Amino acid sequence: MKNKLEKLFAEKKKDILSIYFTAGYPEKNSTIRVLKELQECGTDLVEIGIPYSDPLADGPTIQKAGQKAIQNGMTLELLFEQLQNSKSEIQIPIILMGYLNTIVQFGIENFYKGCSQSGVSGIIIPDLPIEEYELEHKIYSQKFNIHTIFLITPKTSIERIQLIDEHSSPFIYVVSSNSITGKSVDSFSKLERFYKNLETIKNKTMIGFGIKDHQSFTKACKLANGAIIGSAFIHALSKDQNINDFINNITHSKIEQL
């Protein structure tokens, strides 16, 4: 049976908007409120970050959000509880993004089971090697129907891309540059050249890292099936910006809004 993530990518081919935010930020009980508002604004897909003390791939904005969430008392167990209690109200797909140490401490099978019970459709674990996924995670990913999404960068070899394409589903997370989250996209012309290496892959693609406004979102969507916005949205939350206004500014140009 298709989960929500599969259904989304089967039905929508272009301009998919994914928003990332950190669980428990800005307040301990903010997660479901933010999730519901994003759903109401027409966001296609939401990635919820599991707070972690040493997030290697994250820039300062997401790091600070994670530190604040930990101070607020957010845990993976609490996140599952919040999501499970609100599962009937959420129709859009949810992906959890976190680091391997958190999942190992929680228990690998318990983690995948928790995802299934709380309505999570997929996971992104940036520091999970494919080899370890095959040995210890794949059995639970399949058992609980939770998709695992892997990341590639412009420096990923063609051989590695092909291997990732075999295991990632239903999309591959294309990191726009060899940097941390929040940094501007180095060059869309470089991405265009890189995308020539992706012509034969079976998966859809989403571009992340440095997507922050209508212009960068539109450019990313010309190359990929959609784009992921994280640091810019976390910054908006920190400023208490209206979520509907933020999403509208991403999906519509200023001329369209006049």
Is residue 213 among the annotated active site residues? no
Task: Please write the tens of the pLDDT for every residue from 28-55.
Answer: 999 999 999 999 999 999 999 999 887 5
pLDDT score, position 178: 56
pLDDT score, position 89: 97
pLDDT higher than 70, residue 58: no
Q: Annotated catalytic residue: which of 44, 47, 81, 166?
A: 47
Instruction: Identify the sign of the CA torsion 51, 240, 174, 79.
Output: positive
Percent of the chain's residues with pLDDT above 90 = 81
Q: Annotated catalytic residue: which of 15, 40, 44, 58?
A: 58
Could you tell me the strand order of the sheet in which 171-175 lies?
Answer: 147-149, 122-124, 94-97, 45-49, 16-22, 226-229, 204-208, 171-175, 151-152
How does the average pLDDT of the chain come out, rounded? Answer: 91
Other Cβ atoms closer than 10 A to 10: 11
pLDDT higher than 50, residue 152: yes
> In which band, very low, low, confident or very high, does the pLDDT at 115 lie, cut at 50, 70 and 90?
very high
pLDDT score, position 187: 64
Task: Please write the tens of the pLDDT for every residue from 69-99.
Answer: 999 999 999 999 999 999 999 999 999 999 9
**Where are the chain's structural domains?**
15-247
* pLDDT higher at 254 or 166: 166
Is residue 240 among the annotated active site residues? no
pLDDT higher than 80, residue 56: no
Which among 109-123, 184-198, 205-219 has the top mean pLDDT? 109-123
**The three-state (H, E, C) secondary structure of the chain, written as one string:** CCCHHHHHHHHCCCCEEEEEEECCCCCCCHHHHHHHHHHHCCCCEEEEECCCCCCCCCCHHHHHHHHHHHHHCCCHHHHHHHHHHCHHHCCCCEEEECCHHHHHHHCHHHHHHHHHHCCCCEEECCCCCHHHHHHHHHHHHHHCCCEEECEECCCCCHHHHHHHHHHCCCEEEEECCCCCCCCCCCCHHHHHHHHHHHCCCCCEEEEECCCCCHHHHHHHHHHCCEEEECHHHHHHHHCCCCHHHHHHHHHCCHHHHC
User: Is 15-247 a CATH 3.30.930.10 domain?
Assistant: no
Judge whether 170 and 6 are in contact, CB under 8 Å: yes
